Amino acid sequence: MEFVSTDEIRVLHVDDKPDFAELTAEYLATHDKAFAVETASNADEALALLENLDVDCIVSDFEMPGDNGIDLLEAVRERRPEIPFVLFTGKGSEEIASEAISAGVDDYLQKSPGAEQYALLANRISNLVEQYRSQQEAAQTRRFFSQLIEHSTDVIPVIEPDGTIKYVSPSCEWNLGYEQEVVIGDNAFDYIHPDDVDRATAKFYETVENPDTMPEVEFRFKHADGGWVPLHGRAKNLLHDSDVGGIVSYNRIVED
């Protein structure tokens, strides 16, 4: 079976009982047509398939010839640690559940008679895949904006509410003469000209107290060589953003 649509929920189901694996695939497809299920009968076969399949979730039995489900889980975590993994097993015990949790399983479900188990499995998979895809999208967005900042000619620091610099873009070095690690941890206002610091500080705290504003200010920033660089800055409050957690300041040199 070939996975082709990004709207599909692509599942690799590993079980040494082919009839049960096929039945599970049928029930999942009945529950939601978005499910596309590939099957494997053991851990080695599953890992071989994983090399060429774009998989959203792995569902595995515990007891299988050769490596068991937890062995497979550990092997998957080494290769593709982000993929959700569900242990769907007929052999249940607190010891197995504890071992699975320690190995990093995303969910643990014991097989039971009746069709209800498949509906429960489908819901667990859907929830895990939704979380997985959201995390992947968020990571992709972070990489995109990270690339923009890393290659920006503007000096872009992220500043904590007390003025501490928690990050600054690489452009700090070629614009202001400081390597990133030199200024990170320092107070941003210590670098501002004494005649400009009150005005710059007022605009900064306006941003802290009013997240919807993006005030602008011109000020002089001390260059590493001792001179003063005129900057035009504006700030955005992203304290609420868990990925940023600070005030982002965009600063451009004011040309004569």
Domain limits, CATH 3.30.450.20, in the chain: 152-253
**pLDDT on residue 1:** 37
**pLDDT on residue 111:** 83
Cβ neighbours for 211, distance < 8 A, ≥ 6 positions apart: 237, 239, 240
- Tell me how crowded residue 91 is: count the other CB atoms within 10 A of its CB: 12
Q: What is the DSSP string of 132-166?
A: HHHHHHHHHHHHHHHHHHHT-SSB-EEE-TTSBEE
Query: Considering the domain 152-253 in this protein, what is its CATH number?
Result: 3.30.450.20
What's the mean per-residue pLDDT of the chain? 88
Domain limits, CATH 3.40.50.2300, in the chain: 9-147
Given a contact cutoff of 8 angstroms between Cβ atoms, the answer to whether 51 and 139 are in contact is no
How confident is residue 189, by pLDDT bands cut at 50, 70 and 90? very high
Mean pLDDT, residues 206-235: 95
Q: Fold for domain 9-147? A: Rossmann fold (3.40.50)
Among the listed ranges 88-92, 194-198, 199-203, which one has the minimum average pLDDT value?
A: 88-92
Calpha distance 146→244 (Å, rounded): 11
How confident is residue 4, by pLDDT bands cut at 50, 70 and 90? very low
Q: Cα 155 from chain centroid?
A: 25
Calpha distance 223→97 (Å, rounded): 59
Choose between 5 and 142: higher pLDDT. Answer: 142
How confident is residue 6, by pLDDT bands cut at 50, 70 and 90? low
Query: Does position 15 have pLDDT exceeding 80, yes or no?
Result: yes
**pLDDT on residue 3:** 39
Among the listed ranges 112-116, 163-167, 212-216, which one has the minimum average pLDDT value?
A: 112-116
